[in-house]
Amino acid sequence: MGIIKVENIRVYAHHGCLKEETIIGSDYRVDITVRADLSRSSKSDALSDTVDYVFLNRVVREEMAIPSKLLEAVAQRILDRIFEEDPLVNEATVSVSKINPPIGGDVEMVTIELSEQRKK
């Protein structure tokens, strides 16, 4: 089993419960960690035998473009797509962070993290 990480994917998106958040938008950071059997790709040196991080980045960008009230919903959509579209992924963790959230204080970011294993 191996791990592939795609870290600090920076996206501008329109999520939030406040109307202003969905109109104005905010900066977000997304981190993904996936676990997969990398033994075949480590020997074959073939992209088709591994989890393509270009695919992971694309899924994040596409799902972040769909406005949601809660970051939890966005993270779950990302997880669902990863498991639906890449059978090599056995486990995944997605963290979605809102940079400078409008919560009335000096807060760098708020983060939610969801993890899931492939259902057997």
Catalytic residues: 98
Please tell me the distance from the alpha carbon of residue 92 to that of residue 71, in angstroms, as a whole number: 16
Burial track 73-103 (b if 16+ CB lie within 10 A, e otherwise): bbbbbbbebbbeebebbeebbbbbbbeebee
Q: Per 3-state DSSP, what percentage of the chain is helix, strand, and coil (rounded to 5)?
A: 35, 35, 30
Residue with tokens 């669902």: 80
Q: Which of 1, 2, 35 is nearest to 117 (CA)?
A: 35
